[in-house]
Every structure is written in structure tokens, then in C-alpha cells.
């Protein structure tokens, strides 16, 4: 069965600093990978997704993520964090097939931004 691991439960960065949120997946074939962001009490907003092709994908709000098959990782990055980026971030995987319709989520990483 597929699984997604976000090793960091909580990350704190200073405004203007760079950010990297880690995501590791476990799945035999090429997974379809997503990053979502959730502000407190809100729904999930899609930041970016990887299906195939270029392993560096660009998303909204200045985020990017890199798919590394050798490391089974799909880490999210941002060169300079803004206070408004404080939120919870979820990495997710969709294997399709017998798991049709089922996104497998990581446990989430809460990002705190210090001024």
C-alpha cells in the first residue's frame, strides 16, 4: 500500500529565509504527487502537482517542488518565506487503480514564520 511521510511536524523559519518541507512516499510505480496548503479553519489549496516530465515543478505563491525518484522524495521549497505562508502543508499521493479516488496524505507540517 502506498504511504506518504512528512518527517517534520512543525518547522519555524524567519521571514525572508528559505524553506524546504520534506515529503517521502512509498509506492512501487510512479506516483502522482501533490502539495496542498491549509490556513487555519480553511480548506486545502493546491500548490502544485507532479505527474511526469520535468522533475522540478513550479506552483503558485512562489513555491516549487522537486521529484527525486532515487530518494522517493518530493520536497517543497520556497526561496524567501513571507509571513502569510504560515499554514499547514500536506503532501499527498494518488496511485489510482484499486486506490481510485483516494488521496493518501502525509501527516502535515505546520509552518510558523517569525518576523
**Interatomic CA distance for residues 13 and 2, integer angstroms:** 30
Closer residue to other proteins (CB): 14 or 52 = 52
| Closest separation in Å from C-beta 24 to other proteins | 15
H-type alpha helices, 27-90:
none
Closer residue to other proteins (CB): 97 or 115 = 97
Options 13-21, 61-69, 73-81, 86-94: segment touching other proteins (CB under 8 A) = 86-94
Which of 21, 23, 25, 34 binds other proteins (CB under 8 A)? It is 34
**Interatomic CA distance for residues 108 and 91, integer angstroms:** 7
Closer residue to other proteins (CB): 109 or 113 = 109
| Closest separation in Å from C-beta 89 to other proteins | 11
Handedness of CA 23, 72, 104, 101 (dihedral sign): positive
**Interatomic CA distance for residues 39 and 37, integer angstroms:** 7
Q: How far out from the chain centre does Cα 47 lie?
A: 8
**Interatomic CA distance for residues 70 and 61, integer angstroms:** 27
Closer residue to other proteins (CB): 2 or 75 = 2
Residue ranges in contact with other proteins by CB under 8 A: 31-32, 34, 36, 41-46, 49, 51, 90, 92, 94-97, 99-103, 105-108
Amino acid at each position: 500500500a502506498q504511504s506518504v511521510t512528512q518527517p517534520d511536524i512543525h518547522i519555524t523559519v524567519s521571514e525572508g529565509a528559505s524553506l524546504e518541507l520534506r515529503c517521502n512516499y512509498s509506492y512501487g510505480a510512479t506516483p502522482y504527487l501533490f502539495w496542498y496548503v491549509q490556513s487555519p479553519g480553511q480548506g486545502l489549496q493546491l500548490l502544485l502537482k507532479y505527474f511526469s516530465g520535468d522533475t522540478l515543478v513550479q506552483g503558485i505563491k512562489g513555491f516549487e517542488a522537486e521529484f527525486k525518484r532515487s530518494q522517493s522524495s518530493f520536497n517543497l521549497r520556497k526561496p524567501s518565506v513571507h509571513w502569510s505562508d504560515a499554514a499547514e502543508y500536506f503532501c499527498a499521493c494518488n496511485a489510482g487503480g484499486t486506490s481510485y479516488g483516494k488521496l493518501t496524505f502525509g501527516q502535515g507540517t505546520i509552518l510558523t514564520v517569525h518576523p
